[in-house]
Amino acid sequence: MRHLYVHVPFCQRRCSYCDFSIAVRKRIPAREYVEAVLGELAAVRAAHPGREPEDYGGESLETIYLGGGTPSLLPPEAISALLTSLFDAFRATSSRDALEVTLEANPEDVTLDHATAWRHAGINRVSLGAQSFDDRVLKWMHRSHDASRIGDAVQTLRAVGMDNISLDLIFALPSELERNWARDLDLAADLLPAHLSLYGLTVEERTPLARWISSGATSAADDERYAEEYLLAHMRLADCGYHFYEVSNAARDGRRSRHNSAYWSGRAYLGLGPAAHSFDGRVRRWNRSAWESYRRAVGAGLLAVEVEETLTEEQRELESLYLALRTDAGVPLAALCGPLPPCAAMWVERGWAEVRDQRLACRPEGWLRLDALIRDLTSVGRAG
Ligand code: SF4
């Protein structure tokens, strides 16, 4: 296990589109949370008594990712206590400078004091939930920051020596918002973040957005606009020196997310915290998602796993095909069992994919059709 994900479930309010498993709290139960996560790690170890810390990373631990929820709501002392314990537990203290340690943060939580404390705690990468530079849009999303806080947060992080910054943006918003996507892309690029993650808005059940849509108060963007905005992002960001290395992620100067890249290359990872997932290369596990239920389980010395799934050989192959095609590396032609299948040759002809270095890789137009492409490829496999 060289990659550790820690899920922090707390948010101060629910965003209008969000169906994540979160715990909305005015007061963040930081001490209880840190105890619970460390309790879970102890339970995981107790369940595998023959394993040494090295089996869970040790000197070879490469990334830690504090995701949420809103991890930046944890007081800096709690983040520091959590990371110190994790570095110790994984015997990663001496190698800590070589780790990528990411914190997801809301722009409004980035104060000089917090940023300084995060840096001292070992955080060296921050992913900011920017979403838009339009205050009307941020309000509609129920986000707690306003647009001016995004630039301030970037400057503050740089002032304390943290330059590995990623911004999240959401596109394909309802048309009546008249959101200017090109302007948002330009404002994001002007800040020169090392990394950008772009997500198309999806309508999830039981969210305020789903209710607004079913009452007719708003409507989701159609496929045509989704595609237009996605392709516009590729064009504009390429002009600013960004390279899309995955369907939703672009980096400048090669500063890819090492943590997320591990997921996309099918590597093993350990997830701690409510709703966290773990994968050991063969078995995938999901933790209980509700904070209270998770806390009770680990408080009783139990594992917090709710579901466990052992992937079959066929599932593993399908997943690795899917993950490979999500990235710019694509899939080796050898893995397609021979020459380019006719469906893939057609994508190349249409400009949806290309063959590079004996690998088949999607172009942006192909990433828009990824599910259909995978279906074509796998039905060829089944037929063959
Ligand atoms: S901050 Fe993130 S996790 Fe929290 S409600 Fe908003 S979208 Fe969901």
**Each residue's pLDDT tens digit, 246-293:** 999 999 999 999 999 999 999 999 999 999 999 999 999 999 999 999
Distance from residue 206's CA to the centre of ligand 1 (Å): 14
Shortest-distance atom of ligand 1 to CA 13: 5
Q: Indicate whether residue 20 lines ligand 1 (CB < 6 A).
A: yes
Q: Which of 262, 218, 221, 273 is nearest to 33 (CA)?
A: 273
Residues 169/185, Cβ–Cβ less than 8 Å: yes
- Cα diameter, the chain: 61
- Band of pLDDT at residue 91, cut at 50, 70 and 90: confident
Q: Which of 2, 1, 5, 90 is nearest to 273 (CA)?
A: 5
Rounded to 5 degrees, φ, ψ at 378 are: -75, -30
Look-up: residue for tokens 């890249």?
261
Asked if residue 338 has a cis previous peptide bond (ω within 30° of 0), the answer is no
Sign of CA dihedral 38, 44, 48, 53: negative
Q: Other C-beta atoms within 10 Å of 120: how many?
A: 13
Q: Indicate whether residue 286 lines ligand 1 (CB < 6 A).
A: no
Share of the chain above pLDDT 90, in %: 84
Look-up: residue for tokens 């999303």?
141
Can you give the pLDDT at residue 53? 53
Residues 76/16, Cβ–Cβ less than 8 Å: no
Q: Indicate whether residue 9 lines ligand 1 (CB < 6 A).
A: no
Q: Indicate whether residue 141 lines ligand 1 (CB < 6 A).
A: no
Summarised one tens digit per residue, pLDDT across range 189-207 is 999 999 999 999 999 999 9
Share of the chain above pLDDT 70, in %: 95
Shortest-distance atom of ligand 1 to CA 69: 3
Q: Indicate whether residue 130 lines ligand 1 (CB < 6 A).
A: no
Q: What dihedral angle (degrees, nearest 10) is formed by the CA atoms of 167, 173, 177, 178?
A: 80
CA distances to 106, 241, 248, 257, 336 from 352, rounded to whole Å, are 35, 22, 16, 25, 17
Which of 19, 20, 104 gets mutated to test ligand 1 (max ligand atoms within 8 A of its CB)? Answer: 20
- Please tell me whether residue 253 adopts helix, strand or coil conformation: coil
Summarised one tens digit per residue, pLDDT across range 317-344 is 889 999 999 999 999 998 887 678 888 9
Residues 262/209, Cβ–Cβ less than 8 Å: no
Q: Which of 173, 83, 168, 172 is nearest to 120 (CA)?
A: 83
Summarised one tens digit per residue, pLDDT across range 145-162 is 999 999 999 999 999 999
Cβ neighbours for 63, distance < 8 A, ≥ 6 positions apart? 2, 3, 4, 99, 100, 101, 102, 258, 259, 262
The number of residues making up the chain comes to 384
User: Of 7-21, 94-108, 135-149, 157-171, which range is least confident?
Assistant: 94-108
Residues 72/110, Cβ–Cβ less than 8 Å: yes
pLDDT of residue 54 exceeding 70? no
pLDDT of residue 97 exceeding 80? no
Distance from residue 374's CA to the centre of ligand 1 (Å): 30
Q: Indicate whether residue 68 lines ligand 1 (CB < 6 A).
A: yes
pLDDT of residue 60 exceeding 80? no
Q: Indicate whether residue 122 lines ligand 1 (CB < 6 A).
A: no
Distance from residue 203's CA to the centre of ligand 1 (Å): 14
Cβ neighbours for 98, distance < 8 A, ≥ 6 positions apart? 62
| Alpha carbon distance 76, 72 (integer Å) | 8
